[in-house]
Structure 1
Amino acid sequence: MGKIVVTGYGVKAPKTNNIEQFLSNLKKGVCCLESITDLSPNGEETIIGRINGSLQEQETDKRFKRYPRVTLLGMSAGKEALDKAYLSGFSDKRVGVFIGTSLGAMGEMAFQESIIQIHQDKYREIPINFSHIVNYHSITSGIAHFLGAKGITKTITTGCTSSLEAIQDAMVYLTSGEIDIAIVGGTDSLVDKMATYGFAKTKAIALNQTLADGAIPFSQRSSGFAISEGSGVVILEREESALKRNVPILGEIENIVSNNDGVSIYTLDNTGEQMLNALNEVIRGRKPDYINSQALGINTNDRIEERCSKELFNHEVPYSSIKSMIGNPYGAIGILQVISSLLSINHGFIPPTIRTSKEGFEEMNIVQETRFQEVNEVAVTNHGHGGNNACAYIKRYR
């Protein structure tokens, strides 16, 4: 099997409007989160990550005025990725589009208002785009249309692992020769009371925690994650295709392994056995330069990372979590972890896990300040609501 390489990437994330800004924030360890009080039941502090920049032509073009925000984010990240890959048309290419999303467009105001109108039997007030808002695949179709792709189009929804497993699916199509180029990404945008109330009910996020204590990976004081929005897209090709096009190769996706905890959706696998198995399979006995970790400030998840660090690496391999900077944008986080790993490789640094004191995780080799060094291989860990685990191995292209 030939190498699967990355030739382009694009990003939209909290306080991050493009790749250059993402690189700068990662290097400097910028906190892109904020604490607000208008989403909680009684004015408690809630930690969130919002995208404040414009979506340029996606917002001003009348053709897209009915598109949900989650689709517009994917369109913006996808356009940047194609530009970075020097792709402007696909007349001679077989293209596949693979987009991961966890919550789809349910954060749209039109969706929430429609639910009320349905229960009130207000048939004529239902917006014409309602059927597309509730259809997750319309997100991918909208992104594909905007980018000019008409081939294989797939939507993957496996919780927070969605975009990492989208890469896994795309690699199958590329290695089989069914497509020449894969546009792969993730997009999610649900930062509202629905998310706050829902995740607070399950104790996945904490109400009344400040940025000093909450949504901090590898900290026993943290009582939950930060809800955020974001989108990321990468362009994948077979090595020979990229070389033929004579474009810069940004890195290699060597392998992605996924599985499921196999427990009831109303319980958690506190042992982390399946995450351990997935990471063990993807590293194949190697020690990567660091682990781009799924740790997000939920004690159960972070303790699983601690177990993997001890049993697989004896705490010798550095761990870092970008969620300390951008929060957890659901199904988009996996692709953003991959892109941040590629930036690490190409610019020689390990991003820090900011805001943590390592309290309760003192034995782990946690990167707290940016480490400038050569980076050749990175392992990514990712866990999703519903029990899926996904791990990736990213390498410098040689």
Structure 2
Amino acid sequence: MSKMVVTGYGIKAPNTANIHQFLHHLKNGTCCLEIVTNLSGKHKSTIVGLIDNQTLQPSQDKLYKRLPRTALLGIAAGKEALTYAKIGNTEKKKVGVFFGISVGNIGDYEFQRALVNANQHNEREIPITFGHIGNYHSITSSISYFLGGNDVTKTISTGCTSSLEAIQDAIVYLKSGLIDIAIVGGVDSPISKAAFYSFSKTKVLPINQSLEEGAVPFQSSSKGFAMAEGAGVIVLERDSDALHRGADIFGEIDNIVSNNDGVHIYSLDASGDKMIKALREAVNNRVPDYVNSQALGIQINDRIEKKASKELFNHTVPFTSIKSMIGNPFGAIGIIQVISSLLSINNNFIPPTIRTDKSGYEEMNIAMKPIFKPINEVAITNHGYGGNNASAYIKRYKKEETT
């Protein structure tokens, strides 16, 4: 049976315009987060990850100009992924597009302006496109149009696990032969006053904390996570097809497992049993070189990672979290973790969890600085609002020997 391999990747993340910059940040432990006070009427501060508008390089195409921020981010990341994949004419191939989206356009300026005008009964100021701006699948469809999707186009929305589960769906289509190429991504633009008040009310944002204290994975003083915007895209193919066309192969998606906590909608399974179950099934009795963790600075989540480290690996396997550098871009984070894992495999290093002092997590094997060594296998953990858990296993690609 064919292996599922990645032949291209692209990214837009805080202070990160492309794969080259992302690799630099990962290898050097760059903090791409910042403190803002404009989300609270009382000038309370929080920590966020913002993308510079200049990195989007808008087209002169009239249709492109009307697209919301999420679509622009997804298209930009997708174009970079397709450039790496070097895919030529796809007229005779079935190209599927799968995107994970959690909260969509709530951080988009036009979206916010439309809500204000609606509240003030200024119906003439509501853009005709607003129905689509508020529809997740319209985001995916617009991305698909500009990236050359010509067959199935799907949107997966399972919170922060959305883009990992988008990969899971794409693999089903590739293995069945229903499509030949999968363009798989995740995108979200969540930073807004509505999101700030919502998450601060549930006490999962680092209000008035410094960058040394707040949004720090694996640190007991952290009172929450950093909201961030971002987009990540990979091109996924069967290895037989990729080899036939002479493509560069950046790694293999060996396994993705997902489940749900099965608890009340506003709750989280604090035991972490389902998250650990997903990781155990994805790892399948192997020992990864490290775990690319979903830890984000919320204590209940990070303690589950600590429990997984003890139960599955007795704290011998290094854990790290790239969210210490770029924050949590909601539905995009899973696929960005995949991309960071592929970069570490191809460049032989473990990215660090920066800013942490390990307080409360002293017994864990946490990579606090970049570790340069051969990397062949990486496990990924991911959890989302609504109780979904997802875990992936990423490997260096090895061509099967034929006799």
Secondary structure of 1:305's counterpart equals helix
CA 25–113 in structure 1, closer or farther in 2 if over 3 Å, else same: same
CA distance in 2: counterparts of 1:57 and 1:220, whole angstroms: 40
> 1:315 maps to what in 2?
315
Secondary structure of 1:58's counterpart equals coil
Q: What do residues 147-190 of structure 1 show as CA deviations (whole Å, max 9, x unaligned)?
A: 12221000001000000000000000000010000000000112
Identical-pair percentage: 61
**In the alignment, structure 1 residue 397 sits paired with structure 2 residue 397:** yes
Structure 2 letter corresponding to 1:239: D
**In the alignment, structure 1 residue 350 sits paired with structure 2 residue 344:** no
Q: What do residues 207-239 of structure 1 show as CA deviations (whole Å, max 9, x unaligned)?
A: 111101000000000000000100000000001
> Would the aligned equivalents of 1:58 and 1:76 in 2 still touch at CA under 8 Å?
no
* TM-superposed deviation, 1:120: 4.0
> 1:180 maps to what in 2?
180
> 1:387 maps to what in 2?
387
Matches within 5 A, 1:213-252: 213-252=213-252
User: CA-atom RMSD, angstroms?
Assistant: 1.2
CA distance in 1: counterparts of 2:157 and 2:89, whole angstroms: 28
Matches within 5 A, 1:245-394: 245-394=245-394
Secondary structure of 1:54's counterpart equals helix
> Would the aligned equivalents of 2:106 and 2:192 in 1 still touch at CA under 8 Å?
no
Structure 2 letter corresponding to 1:65: K
* TM-superposed deviation, 1:125: 2.4
* TM-superposed deviation, 1:59: 4.9
> 1:30 maps to what in 2?
30
Secondary structure of 2:349's counterpart equals coil
Please, which runs of 5 or more residues in structure 1 have no aligned partner? Answer: none
TM-score normalised according to structure 1 size: 0.98
> 1:9 maps to what in 2?
9
Structure 2 letter corresponding to 1:307: K
Secondary structure of 2:372's counterpart equals coil
CA distance in 1: counterparts of 2:56 and 2:208, whole angstroms: 35
Structure 2 letter corresponding to 1:232: G
Structure 2 letter corresponding to 1:170: A
Which range is displaced more, 387-396 or 185-194? Answer: 185-194
> 1:89 maps to what in 2?
89
CA 38–117 in structure 1, closer or farther in 2 if over 3 Å, else same: closer
* TM-superposed deviation, 1:124: 2.6
CA distance in 2: counterparts of 1:39 and 1:337, whole angstroms: 27
CA distance in 2: counterparts of 1:124 and 1:42, whole angstroms: 32
Please, which runs of 5 or more residues in structure 2 have no aligned partner? Answer: 399-403
**In the alignment, structure 1 residue 210 sits paired with structure 2 residue 214:** no
Q: What do residues 112-157 of structure 1 show as CA deviations (whole Å, max 9, x unaligned)?
A: 2323333444333221111111111011111111112221000001
CA distance in 1: counterparts of 2:53 and 2:86, whole angstroms: 24
Which range is displaced more, 108-117 or 166-175? Answer: 108-117
> 1:165 maps to what in 2?
165
Structure 1 letter corresponding to 2:157: T
User: How many residues are paired up?
Assistant: 398
> 2:65 maps to what in 1?
65
Which range is displaced more, 222-231 or 106-115? Answer: 106-115
> Would the aligned equivalents of 2:321 and 2:353 in 1 still touch at CA under 8 Å?
yes
> 2:118 maps to what in 1?
118
CA distance in 2: counterparts of 1:48 and 1:57, whole angstroms: 22
> Would the aligned equivalents of 2:95 and 2:148 in 1 still touch at CA under 8 Å?
no
Matches within 5 A, 1:19-58: 19-52=19-52, 54-58=54-58
Which range is displaced more, 190-199 or 293-302? Answer: 190-199
CA distance in 1: counterparts of 2:66 and 2:226, whole angstroms: 28
Q: What do residues 45-78 of structure 1 show as CA deviations (whole Å, max 9, x unaligned)?
A: 2101011152454354332121100110000000
> 2:401 maps to what in 1?
none
* TM-superposed deviation, 1:354: 0.1
> Would the aligned equivalents of 1:214 and 1:223 in 2 still touch at CA under 8 Å?
yes
